[in-house]
Amino acid sequence: MRTSLRALAVCAATTLLCSIPVLAQADQPAAGHCQDVSFPVPQGTVAGTLCLPDGPTDAVMILMSGSNYNHVYWDFPYQPETYNFRQAMNRAGYATLVADRLGNGDSSKPPALTLTAQTTADALHVMVQAMRHGLVGNAPFTKVVTAGHSLTSSTSMMEALGNHDVDGIILTGYSHTLSVPDVLGVISTYHPAIEEPEFVGRGYDSSYLVARAGTRAANFYGVGYDPQVVALDEATKEAFSLTEYPDGLLTTLPGESSLLNIPVLLVDGGRDRLACGPGFGICTDSATLQAAENPYFTPAAKLRTFVLPDSGHAINLAPNTGDYRAVVIDWMKSVTG
C-alpha cells in the first residue's frame, strides 16, 4: 500500500482512539494485493493504488474523493470491516484504483489557482484509458466504472460526457437540489492550508484551503457517528482550491446529466445537509430521491438511487455504510455481468 505524507497523522489519530503510467515499485500487481501506481498528466503526476481481488476480474472501479478528502476516504484504515469501501469492493470481486486528485494526497501540488474540475476530469480520463489498455504487467480491464464523492461526482460525469469511455458511474453526495446556504456555510469554514502546521512544507501555496479544525462534524457526518472516525477524518483532512468548484457545480444544473447514456447509481445520506436541499426533503427515502432526480436523466441512464438513513455527506464514514456498499455491489453486478 502506498505510504503517504499523511501516514503519521493516521497513526496519531488511531492512537488517540495519458502517458503509459509507471508503477511505483518493481514488482507487478498480484491477485489480492495492492500496488502503488502513478499517472503523468500535464500538471504533474496523479498518485493512485491499484488493488486486485483474489480471483480473476475484468472490471475495475476508479475511486476519487471530493474536496476536503483524499484517498483515505475510500480506503479508511479504522475498523476497515465497517468503513473501508475499497476492501469491500475487492472482496466482492472487483479491482479498484483509488486515486488522489491533483493538489491533494500524494499527487502533485500545482499552483492552486490553476486547478479546475475539468483538470480532474482530464486526469480521470488518463486513468480510464490506462485501465482499458492495461498497466505494465496487468491485463486490460474491459469494464470500467468511475465513482465520485461530492466534487468528483461532477468530474466523473464530466469525464463520461466528454469521452464516452466508461461503463457506468456512481454519484455520491450529489443531487440537482443543493442547499446553497449550507454550501456557503461550509465554504465559510475554509482558511489557507498553510496556516496549519501539517500542511507547511508540502508544496501547498497560499491559495490552497482547508476546513478549520473542528468544523467538519457539523457538515459531513449526520447522526450516530463514531468519535474515532471523526478524529481520524480530522487528522487526514485535505487541502483543495476553490477554483475546482465553479465548473464542477455546473453539473448540478439541469442539462448535463440528461446526456448520460450509461447506467448511473446516485447515493445520498439521509442527513446530507449539502446535497439534499432544504430540510433534507429529497432524501427522505430512496423512492423520494428517485422521483426528484428522474427528470434530470433519460431512460438510457437506468437511474437507480439509494438513501442511506442518518448518514451525512460523507457516506463512507457512516456506521451503517455497509448497507450502501451492498447496494453498490448489487448495482455493479448489473453493469458488469
pLDDT at 278: 75
pTM for the full model? Answer: 0.91
Query: Mapped to the 3 state alphabet, what secondary structure does 163-225 carry?
Result: HCCCCEEEEECCCCCCCHHHHHHHHCCEEEHHHCHHHCCCCCCCCCEEECCCCHHHHHCECCC
User: What is the grid cell recorded at 108?
Assistant: 502533485
pLDDT for 32: 55
CB 273 within 8 A of CB 179: yes
CA 228 to chain centre: 21
Position 2 scores a pLDDT of 57
pLDDT at res. 298:
97
Burial degree of 76 (CB within 10 A; 0-12, 13-18, 19+): buried
| Gap between the Cα atoms of 100 and 182, Å rounded | 25
Residue with cell 502513478: 38
Rounded to an integer, what is the distance from CA 76 to the centroid of its chain? 12
pLDDT per 10-residue tile (average), the chain, 337 residues = 47 41 39 85 96 95 95 97 97 97 96 97 98 88 97 97 98 94 91 96 95 88 93 94 94 94 97 86 95 97 97 96 98 95
- Total count of residues recorded for the chain: 337
pLDDT at site 9? 42
Please give the pLDDT value at position 136: 72
* Cα separation values, 2 from 6, 41, 251, 283, 337, Å: 11, 19, 32, 36, 31
